[in-house]
Chain A
Amino acid sequence: MKVLCVTCLTFLGISFGHAQLSPPVLFSEMNGIHFLEDGTALPIWGYGWTTDGFITLPGPLLHYQEGDDVVLAFHNPSPESHTIHLHGLDVDQANDGVPSTSFYVASGESTTYEFVATHPGTFLYHCHVTTTLHLTMGMYGMVLVTRSDGAIFENGPVVNQDVPLLFSDLEMATNLDPVGSFPFHDMRPDVFMVNGKSGSQLEEELIWTSPEAPTALRLASAAYSRIRCSFPSELNAQLWMSDGRAVPAEAIDSLDIYPGERFTVLIQPDEGYDGGFHAEFLHMIDDQLESTQWVQVKDNSLHPSNLISLQEPSVDWYPNPASDFIQTEVERNCKVWDSWGRLMFDGLIGADRLDVSTWPDGVYTSRAAGGKVSRFVVSH
């Protein structure tokens, strides 16, 4: 099951920074698009790896080992200033990512954030420039600090996989018109996400468990809502950590996660388990239930073949980058948008190559009917 674990982390953009000679560079952009469950393309701001060339919602998972001397390189080619606040990592003032007490990273500038990953656990990172707006636009991600011995903390339980589950929400009207979003106190989110996905999109986040060893759910919230997770007793859910520190272990059937909080919950359902848990999004002001999302959990004896089919739906483009034409092996119906969310192509692609010779340089996003998103670069 380590295979699937890595698969799902890869989808989130995991980077084993500690194992690489030159650290990867995180960058920020303000021209991304994010697909809602109904296919709507929504503008986002966010973070991505420069090697990927595109930003994602949430941003890439930053994965370190306990004790790592982390040098996080950050480049900001976007038109406005941004920062990275390392939420919960107790970094020093200079690396705290708060513009007024630390520093801005202005348009076109690069910097590095340096800190020691002193404690294993689950953390967040997010932009701290006009935080109200930049966070809801998508400038956040998870930081996971693990140990080489598989224990979640020193002398703690050993798990067979870490499953990052980052809760967030956004208000569509704000993403469609960020400048017109002021004043901010009447913000009321209307899209509710787990790892950037809602509803049927969450099928991709299906968690495969093993009866032999616990799975660590790394729960974190960058939402405006309060999240309430309800764990059926068959999951045998146990709370072990909060905010990157061990807490007295206890069996739980529900857990409230306030904005900015993180928890590590171990689950270990029996062989043959087929179920999951609900995550309710409750408004912070009036406690109104806004949305319920369902995270599927299955025992890995059930559908091993799904391991492969999960990989299939995205469109594989070549050559990438392309200058004149781009094509794909499998014939599919698909749409292509530019980085501003404008539809560039809608139709059947396969034997016929797509002529991109007149398209401006940039990152393009494609999606086949019912499939995952893939991206390609046009460069002349």
Chain B
Amino acid sequence: MGARPLTLMLISLSVKLTAAQVDSVWIVPGGVVLGGDTIAALRFCDSPQFQAQNETLEAWLGPWVVVNGDSVDHVLQMSEEGEPPILVPAGGSSTLNMAMPSNSTHRLRSLTQRGDLLGLETMVRGEWEDFPHYEWNLNEWDPSATWSLAALEEVDETEPYVPRQFTINDLNFPLTLEDSTAHVQTSVGDVVLISIANHGRMDQVLHFHGFHVEILQASAHENRVGWSKDTVPVKKGECVVVKLETNQSGEYPVHAHNLVAVTNAGFYPGGMITIITVEP
């Protein structure tokens, strides 16, 4: 599991400082304050206690036992082809087989609307080359819809969708800068990898200031592996992995270039913005 030191006002506070090797992950309902809105949430947590951010699952540490602390059944699906859906009954548990190829990043998502729109979605990383590896889980939120779902109501997805909050690792800017897997910290000449998964209902596109990145994986743009780009689309459901080799020091923003997504409740700057800090 990825470690994410974090300072954040939460309804239910959870601060995790070290990566502990555990073999269980809990589905836990709760609520978070995001950019001035309170939203209902479901998260993959590393204990039965609710935490604001989904745990990223590092596949080589699996298999995992998923314990469902929610009041309804969940059906989980890996984005990797050929993996069957896994039923995790309410109050029960199931085992998540993590046999996945190295050098690939996938999503684990809930097939129920409740799980999908409450954010029960995370990244599952295979083993990659041994470089510092950052993880950006993209999502966007309609707070009122989350409360309908929390009350076990259905949301009509054919209704106009106007998300108000846009997040990287379930945080929006400037809190993204306090997340050690969202805020890239490196030195000139060093290489880092960044896995990006779009769990939302809309396509996103990220623009890198200061650098081009090499595309190592793009599950919805497979012909783009090897391309060098500064503006990288991440379609809904897509997992993209990029390699960044820095050649200049400084602070360089990375942000969604659909500028609607760089707001918190409509106010700029916010949403999907983080920074690449490069020491000389």
Determine whether A243 belongs to the interface, using a CB cutoff of 8 Å to chain B. Answer: yes
**How far in angstroms is the closest Cβ of chain A from B193?**
19
Alpha-carbon distance A286/B194, docked complex (angstroms): 27
Determine whether A145 belongs to the interface, using a CB cutoff of 8 Å to chain B. Answer: no
**How far in angstroms is the closest Cβ of chain B from A122?**
11
- The stretch among B20-28, B47-55, B256-264 that forms the contact with chain A is B256-264
- The stretch among B56-64, B105-113, B125-133, B222-230 that forms the contact with chain A is B222-230
Sorted nearest first, the 7 A-B pairs with minimum C-beta distance are A183-B266, A93-B250, A260-B257, A258-B205, A260-B231, A258-B233, A259-B257
Determine whether A303 belongs to the interface, using a CB cutoff of 8 Å to chain B. Answer: no
Task: Give the residues from 167 to 197 in chain A that come closer than 8 angstroms, CB to CB, to chain B.
Answer: 182-187
Q: Which residue of A lies closest to B206 (CB)?
A: A260
Task: Give the residues from 108 to 149 in chain A that come closer than 8 angstroms, CB to CB, to chain B.
Answer: 130-133, 135-136
Alpha-carbon distance A87/B263, docked complex (angstroms): 20
A131 contacts across to B, CB distance below 8 A: 259, 262, 268-269
- Asked whether, in the complex, the Cβ of A242 is within 8 Å of the Cβ of B229, the reply is yes
Most-contacted residue by chain B among A90, A101, A135, A260 (CB, 10 A): A260
Give A71-103 as 1s and 0s: 1 = Cβ < 8 Å from B's Cβ atoms: 000000000000001011011111010101100
- The stretch among B71-79, B84-92, B158-166 that forms the contact with chain A is B158-166
A286 contacts across to B, CB distance below 8 A: 160-161, 202
Determine whether A284 belongs to the interface, using a CB cutoff of 8 Å to chain B. Answer: yes
Given contacts A132-B260, A284-B203, contact A243 B266 (CB under 8 A): no
- Asked whether, in the complex, the Cβ of A185 is within 8 Å of the Cβ of B203, the reply is no
- Asked whether, in the complex, the Cβ of B248 is within 8 Å of the Cβ of A256, the reply is no
- Asked whether, in the complex, the Cβ of B162 is within 8 Å of the Cβ of A186, the reply is yes
- Asked whether, in the complex, the Cβ of B211 is within 8 Å of the Cβ of A90, the reply is yes
Task: Give the residues from 129 to 161 in chain B that come closer than 8 angstroms, CB to CB, to chain A.
Answer: 160-161
Count of A residues near B, CB < 8 Å?
42
- Asked whether, in the complex, the Cβ of B209 is within 8 Å of the Cβ of A98, the reply is yes
A245 contacts across to B, CB distance below 8 A: 212, 227-229
**How far in angstroms is the closest Cβ of chain A from B224?**
8
Give A26-40 as 1s and 0s: 1 = Cβ < 8 Å from B's Cβ atoms: 000000000000000
Which listed residue, A242, A244, A256, A258, touches B257 by the CB 8 Å rule?
Answer: A258
A182 contacts across to B, CB distance below 8 A: 266-267
Most-contacted residue by chain B among A91, A183, A184 (CB, 10 A): A184
Q: Which residue of B lies closest to A135 (CB)?
A: B259
Alpha-carbon distance A91/B202, docked complex (angstroms): 30
Give A191-228 as 1s and 0s: 1 = Cβ < 8 Å from B's Cβ atoms: 00000000000000000000000000000000010100
Task: Give the residues from 233 to 269 in chain A that come closer than 8 angstroms, CB to CB, to chain B.
Answer: 242-245, 247-248, 250, 256, 258-262
- Asked whether, in the complex, the Cβ of A260 is within 8 Å of the Cβ of B205, the reply is yes
- Asked whether, in the complex, the Cβ of A101 is within 8 Å of the Cβ of B202, the reply is no
10 new A-B contacts at CB < 8 Å, known A130-B268, A243-B228 = A92-B210, A101-B252, A135-B259, A136-B259, A184-B267, A184-B268, A187-B259, A242-B229, A248-B223, A284-B258
B260 contacts across to A, CB distance below 8 A: 132, 184-185, 187, 224, 284-285
Determine whether B253 belongs to the interface, using a CB cutoff of 8 Å to chain A. Answer: yes
Alpha-carbon distance A90/B248, docked complex (angstroms): 9
Partner-B contacts on A (CB < 8 A): 85, 87-88, 90-94, 96, 98, 100-101, 130-133, 135-136, 182-187, 224, 226, 242-245, 247-248, 250, 256, 258-262, 284-286
- Asked whether, in the complex, the Cβ of A226 is within 8 Å of the Cβ of B203, the reply is yes
- Asked whether, in the complex, the Cβ of A183 is within 8 Å of the Cβ of B163, the reply is no
A87 contacts across to B, CB distance below 8 A: 207, 230-231
Given contacts A93-B210, A135-B259, contact A185 B265 (CB under 8 A): yes
Determine whether B251 belongs to the interface, using a CB cutoff of 8 Å to chain A. Answer: yes
Q: Which residue of A lies closest to B35 (CB)?
A: A185
- Asked whether, in the complex, the Cβ of B266 is within 8 Å of the Cβ of A224, the reply is no
B227 contacts across to A, CB distance below 8 A: 242, 245, 247
Q: Which residue of B lies closest to A87 (CB)?
A: B207
A261 contacts across to B, CB distance below 8 A: 205, 229, 231, 233
- Asked whether, in the complex, the Cβ of A90 is within 8 Å of the Cβ of B263, the reply is no
- Asked whether, in the complex, the Cβ of B162 is within 8 Å of the Cβ of A259, the reply is no
A85 contacts across to B, CB distance below 8 A: 209
B230 contacts across to A, CB distance below 8 A: 87-88, 90, 243-244
- Asked whether, in the complex, the Cβ of B252 is within 8 Å of the Cβ of A186, the reply is no
B257 contacts across to A, CB distance below 8 A: 258-260
- Asked whether, in the complex, the Cβ of A258 is within 8 Å of the Cβ of B163, the reply is no
Q: Which residue of A lies closest to B250 (CB)?
A: A93
Task: Give the residues from 160 to 213 in chain B that come closer than 8 angstroms, CB to CB, to chain A.
Answer: 160-164, 201-203, 205, 207, 209-212
Alpha-carbon distance A261/B161, docked complex (angstroms): 25
Alpha-carbon distance A248/B253, docked complex (angstroms): 28
Given contacts A185-B164, A224-B259, contact A260 B268 (CB under 8 A): no
Given contacts A87-B207, A245-B227, contact A256 B233 (CB under 8 A): yes
Given contacts A90-B212, A132-B263, A183-B267, contact A285 B202 (CB under 8 A): yes
B205 contacts across to A, CB distance below 8 A: 258-261
Q: Which residue of A lies closest to B255 (CB)?
A: A131
A285 contacts across to B, CB distance below 8 A: 161-163, 201-202, 260
**How far in angstroms is the closest Cβ of chain B from A101?**
5
B203 contacts across to A, CB distance below 8 A: 226, 258, 284
Most-contacted residue by chain B among A85, A242, A284 (CB, 10 A): A284
Alpha-carbon distance A134/B275, docked complex (angstroms): 21
14 A-B Cβ contacts within 8 A?
A: A85-B209, A87-B231, A90-B211, A93-B252, A96-B210, A96-B250, A101-B251, A132-B259, A132-B268, A182-B267, A187-B260, A224-B259, A258-B257, A261-B229
